[in-house]
């Protein structure tokens, strides 16, 4: 967490006041995450409309901030359940919107972006993240999260670099495989939650 600036004497805010709690959101790591969140509604239309240069730049901006924000949070002591929730919510938003754009071009199954969003909601509810608890990812769910960005990046990078491979049919087949692994991950999480009761 970013350290609050200390003021002498009577200008100090009382402990637990809104003024003291507000900086929890204003961290370096959350600022990087917010950049990625802002890029999501810009990248998806760029993909759908064939604005290849813009889609390429926005995708790599998202990847860069995703790689850095966690390290920044740990480096400056800003890691928190709130920051983790914001980070994962942003990843799910970027991936689902981007994959929806890819699906509208016929290169991914339409079920995939819907399942990405549904899996994230299940993830949050199961982890009780809305109560301030840290998110708990399964091994399959973690790999799926990486694969969503990888699949999104395939047509974006291909088109941004003017390549002819991989073809749309192969991208779509990979998307179908991710539909299957996402359903498997959701079923596994549901069964684990049931056993824990």
Whether residue 57 lies inside any domain: the answer is: yes
Check residue 69 and report its DSSP letter.
H
Whether residue 174 lies inside any domain: the answer is: yes
Whether residue 134 lies inside any domain: the answer is: yes
Whether residue 2 lies inside any domain: the answer is: no
Buried/exposed 119-144: b ≥16 CB within 10 Å, e otherwise = bbebbbebbebeeeeebebeebbeeb
Whether residue 98 lies inside any domain: the answer is: yes
Contact 47, 64 (CB under 8 A): no
Whether residue 100 lies inside any domain: the answer is: yes
Whether residue 3 lies inside any domain: the answer is: no
Identify the CATH number of the domain in which residue 101 sits.
1.20.120.1760
Torsion angles phi and psi, residue 108, rounded to 5: -155, 150
Task: List the domain range (segments joined by +) for residue 19.
Answer: 15-196
**Total domain count for the chain?**
1
Per-residue pLDDT of the chain (197 residues; tens, 9 = 90+): 334 434 434 444 444 444 444 457 789 999 999 999 999 999 999 999 999 999 999 999 999 999 999 999 999 999 998 898 999 999 999 999 999 999 999 999 999 999 999 999 998 888 775 555 555 668 899 999 999 999 999 999 999 999 999 999 999 999 999 999 999 999 998 888 787 76
CA end-to-end span of the chain: 34
Is the pTM value of this prediction over 0.85?
Answer: no
Whether residue 150 lies inside any domain: the answer is: yes
């Amino acid at each position: 967490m970013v350290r609050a600036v200390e003021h002498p004497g009577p200008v100090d805010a009382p402990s637990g006041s809104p003024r003291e709690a507000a900086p929890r959101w204003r961290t370096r790591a959350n600022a990087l995450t917010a950049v990625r969140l802002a890029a999501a509604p810009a990248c998806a239309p760029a993909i759908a409309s064939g604005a290849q240069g813009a889609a390429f730049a926005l995708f790599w901006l998202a990847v860069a901030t995703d790689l850095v924000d966690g390290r920044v949070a740990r480096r400056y002591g800003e890691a928190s359940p709130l920051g983790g929730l914001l980070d994962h919510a942003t990843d799910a938003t970027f991936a689902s919107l981007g994959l929806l754009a890819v699906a509208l071009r016929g290169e991914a199954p339409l079920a995939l972006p819907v399942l990405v969003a549904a899996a994230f909601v299940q993830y949050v509810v199961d982890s009780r993240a809305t109560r301030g608890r840290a998110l708990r990812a399964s091994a399959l769910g973690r790999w799926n999260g990486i694969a969503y960005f990888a699949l999104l990046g395939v047509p974006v990078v291909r088109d941004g670099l003017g390549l002819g491979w991989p073809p749309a049919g192969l991208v779509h087949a990979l998307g179908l495989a991710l539909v299957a692994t996402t359903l498997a991950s959701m079923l596994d999480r549901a069964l684990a939650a049931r056993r824990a009761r």
